[in-house]
């Protein structure tokens, strides 16, 4: 058993559905092991400002189904400077906090790694991001909900596309990764899926849409990850329209819609498993690791690996997407 008696928990970066479920799991597991728990509001900003709140089992009642995060979230420019990290450390030590659970993404864990090296306060990370781009875990908390939200929206867009014989370019989140676009595109039967991991050839997209029209196809959906190398959905749609002048083209940007909403069952269970695992990692004496899920098993991934490497898209899914959207003439 470690000497940890009191831990803190916070959520950082972009909010993702399931963060509340993770907070709940951390708090209740800690209390089960008779550890005290402090919540840090507004992530690293709150750590600098001493925005702390004591948490009991009842503090997290009725939140497992809620989207967003009861502890608020955000990004802190101040935390990039050592003088502010020093103040954050003073605040944690004043509260007698022995370890911190950080729920967030790549930037969250990079900050935790630097902070631990400077002040020897252990951190355990829980991957909370809709992008699913963290190395070392099959899924991140919020990803499943985000892709289901995207699929639901695309299905509704498909209805109006069919009704008006239109081609819709639907932009989903994914500045550096195409996980949301790839899975939601396959699941919604998109005619083309454009992701940052694959160089986009607009001539191929235009040829695909043109051949579809020649076969009698009257409506199309093209899913675009916001970080695609060919540009944002509006830029791509404009370029395509110049070549396919007889197409009725519309653009929909789903944006932050994908961040909100009640988490799916998968995200609630994943968040619960990882929340329990984070506390157990502290009890086992671990630090500077992210708890993740690999082939259904809990794993501990050093922050160095989780932040230096990238979770890559499944090439077989890319192959599937191409096969399903390129039927024979």
CATH, residue 212: 3.40.50.460
Q: Are residues 21 and 110 in the same domain?
A: yes
Sign of CA dihedral 20, 22, 27, 31: positive
- Residue among 197, 223, 199 at smallest CA distance from 310: 197
> What is the SS3 assignment for 293?
strand
Contact 20, 70 (CB under 8 A): yes
126 belongs to a structural domain: yes
Q: Catalytic pick from 131, 133, 144, 267?
A: 131
- Residue among 14, 289, 2, 7 at smallest CA distance from 125: 289
327 belongs to a structural domain: no
Q: What is the pLDDT of residue 176?
A: 84
Q: Indicate the DSSP class of residue 166.
A: -
218 belongs to a structural domain: yes
Q: CATH number of the domain that 299 lies in? A: 3.40.50.450
Q: What is the pLDDT of residue 294?
A: 94
Residue 307: how many CA atoms within 13 Å on its side-chain side?
19
Q: What is the pLDDT of residue 74?
A: 86
172 belongs to a structural domain: yes
Q: What is the pLDDT of residue 309?
A: 73
Q: Indicate the DSSP class of residue 311.
A: P
Q: What is the pLDDT of residue 175?
A: 85
Q: Are residues 152 and 196 in the same domain?
A: yes
258 is written with which tokens? 């994908």
Q: Are residues 41 and 102 in the same domain?
A: yes
313 belongs to a structural domain: no
DSSP strand pairing (167-172 vs 249-253): parallel
Give pLDDT < 50 ranges for the chain. Answer: 1
Q: Are residues 248 and 275 in the same domain?
A: no
119 belongs to a structural domain: yes
Q: What is the pLDDT of residue 237?
A: 95
328 belongs to a structural domain: no
Q: What is the pLDDT of residue 2?
A: 55
Q: What is the pLDDT of residue 134?
A: 92
Q: What is the pLDDT of residue 249?
A: 94
152 belongs to a structural domain: yes
> Which domain covers residue 241, as residue numbers?
144-259
Q: Indicate the DSSP class of residue 120.
A: -
Assess whether 138 carries a catalytic annotation.
no
Residue the block writes with tokens 């968040």: 271
Q: Are residues 108 and 190 in the same domain?
A: no
Q: CA 276 to CA 23: how far, in whole Å?
A: 10
124 is written with which tokens? 């355990």
Alpha helices in 64-201 (DSSP H): 82-94, 106-119, 143-164, 179-187
Stated pTM of the model: 0.93
Which residues on neighbouring strands pair with residue 141, listed in sequence order? 128
Q: Are residues 280 and 214 in the same domain?
A: no
Q: How many CB atoms are located within 10 Å of the residue 160 CB? A: 13
Q: How many CB atoms are located within 10 Å of the residue 120 CB? A: 9
Q: What is the pLDDT of residue 1?
A: 42
Q: Are residues 137 and 276 in the same domain?
A: yes
114 is written with which tokens? 């630097």
Q: Are residues 277 and 236 in the same domain?
A: no
Q: Are residues 179 and 276 in the same domain?
A: no
Q: Are residues 148 and 297 in the same domain?
A: no
Q: What is the pLDDT of residue 329?
A: 55
Q: Are residues 135 and 272 in the same domain?
A: yes
- Residue among 219, 221, 203 at smallest CA distance from 153: 221
User: How many domains does the structure of the chain reveal?
Assistant: 2
DSSP strand pairing (123-127 vs 289-294): parallel
Tell me the CA end-to-end span of the chain in Å, nearest whole number.
66
Q: Are residues 165 and 300 in the same domain?
A: no
């Amino acid at each position: 058993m470690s000497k940890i008696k009191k831990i803190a928990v916070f959520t950082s970066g972009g909010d993702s559905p399931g963060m509340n479920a993770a907070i709940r799991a951390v708090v209740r597991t800690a209390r089960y092991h008779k550890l005290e728990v402090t919540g840090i509001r507004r992530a690293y900003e709150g750590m600098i400002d001493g925005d702390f709140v004591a948490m009991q089992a009842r503090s997290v009642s009725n939140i497992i189904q809620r989207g967003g995060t009861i502890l608020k979230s955000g990004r802190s420019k101040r935390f990039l400077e050592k003088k502010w990290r020093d103040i954050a450390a003073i605040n944690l030590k004043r509260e007698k906090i022995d370890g911190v659970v950080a729920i967030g993404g790549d930037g969250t864990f990079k900050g935790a790694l630097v902070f631990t090296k400077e002040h020897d306060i252990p951190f355990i990370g829980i991957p909370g991001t809709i992008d699913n781009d963290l190395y070392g875990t099959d899924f991140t908390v919020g990803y499943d909900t985000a892709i289901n939200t995207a699929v639901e929206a695309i299905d509704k867009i498909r209805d109006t596309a069919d009704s008006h014989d239109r081609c819709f370019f639907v932009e989903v989140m994914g500045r550096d990764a195409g996980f949301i676009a790839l899975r939601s595109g396959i699941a919604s039967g998109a005619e083309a899926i454009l992701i940052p991991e694959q160089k986009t050839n607009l001539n191929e997209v235009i040829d695909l849409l043109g051949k579809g029209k020649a076969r009698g196809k009257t409506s199309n959906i093209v899913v675009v990850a916001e970080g695609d190398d060919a540009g944002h959905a509006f830029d791509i749609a404009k370029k395509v329209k110049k070549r396919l002048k007889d197409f009725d083209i519309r653009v929909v940007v789903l944006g932050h819609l994908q961040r909100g909403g009640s988490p799916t069952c998968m995200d609630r269970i994943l968040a619960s498993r990882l929340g329990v695992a984070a506390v157990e990692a502290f009890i086992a004496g671990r630090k500077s690791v992210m708890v993740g899920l690999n082939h259904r098993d809990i794993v501990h991934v050093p922050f160095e690996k989780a932040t230096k490497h990238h979770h890559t898209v499944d090439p077989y899914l890319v192959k599937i997407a191409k096969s399903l959207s390129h039927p024979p003439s």
